[in-house]
Amino acid sequence: MSALAGLEVTDAEIEVQGGELPGLDGSSKEYVEGLLDVGLASVGTVEREPLFERVFVQEESIKVAVSSGRGVWRYGFLSDAWPFEQEFESIDIVGEFREEIAPARTWAFEHELPAIEQLGLGRGLDATSAVVLGKQGYVNEVRFPDEPARHKLLDLIGDLYLAGFPIRQLNVSACRSGHRAHVEAARSCATRFRARSPSRDRSPSKKSARAGEKEESLPRPIVGVLCLVRFAWLALKGSLCLLLHVYPHEPDIS
């Protein structure tokens, strides 16, 4: 989902064979490369402008703030199980996405690994596809000194793209948040947009992930596309929930 958002793809046909998407290297890097290999084609210039008042979601220390802006995104990574605070900020979310955000891999706490292995979860993941967080710091090599924070921002980008707005037209700040808080924020953004501009076109169209496709053959609304991709993405997250940091480390705020 983040790969589509970072490349500003609004129309795509995606087929999934099997119960989940491949984890690949634990980041969005290979998905970005795959989309670029297919090629992007212009399907128009109409965009959904994020005209709504600031959205703020909070549950104790979990915070997500979204407003219309110029593509400034910030994520603060803090965990009671890991004493190293991190913050990553991008002032050009689209321009920096491919090199600075997409390659950031998922992570897991070292003390959780035995239980994960005992349950038979996390198959296919190893030291190259996940960052392991130990009590004294990183257990394996990292791509960025603040890779966990960057990966959380990667998650945030994909989740907020469910609202259908170009990520370069949003300013976003989040701390300690996970998928549930992100989706709640996306839902609030979409609801406020509809209430504020009920007559505006809510079917943005910019790029297609099918090179050579004619513009008139891609009339599908972005909502249907995002729901399809989101379904497949949640299947992947659900199967690895004890390895990835999604559910064990965030309260349910939905």
**Other CB atoms within 10 A of residue 54 CB:** 12
Q: Has residue 215 got a pLDDT over 50?
A: no
Instruction: Find the domain containing 62 and state its range.
Output: 2-239
Query: Has 111 been annotated as catalytic?
Result: no
Q: Has residue 6 got a pLDDT over 90?
A: yes
CATH number of the domain to which 226 belongs: 3.30.1700.10
Asked if residue 250 belongs to a domain, the reply is no
Q: Which of 36-40, 109-113, 204-208 has the lowest mean pLDDT?
A: 204-208
pLDDT higher at 108 or 247: 108
pLDDT tens digits for range 128-169: 889 999 989 999 999 999 999 999 999 999 999 999 999 999
* Separation between Cα atoms, residue 240 and residue 237, nearest integer Å: 5
Amino acid at 79: S
Percent of the chain surpassing pLDDT 90: 54
Active-site entry in 179, 182, 245, 249: 179
* Separation between Cα atoms, residue 210 and residue 6, nearest integer Å: 16
Asked if residue 93 belongs to a domain, the reply is yes
* Separation between Cα atoms, residue 99 and residue 119, nearest integer Å: 35
pLDDT higher at 53 or 59: 59
DSSP, collapsed to helix, strand or coil, labels residue 33 as helix
Number of structural domains in the chain: 1
Tokens found for residue 145 = 């000194």
Q: What is the pTM of this model?
A: 0.77
Under 8 Å between Cβ of 56 and 193: no
Q: Tell me, what's the pLDDT at 249?
A: 43
Asked if residue 252 belongs to a domain, the reply is no
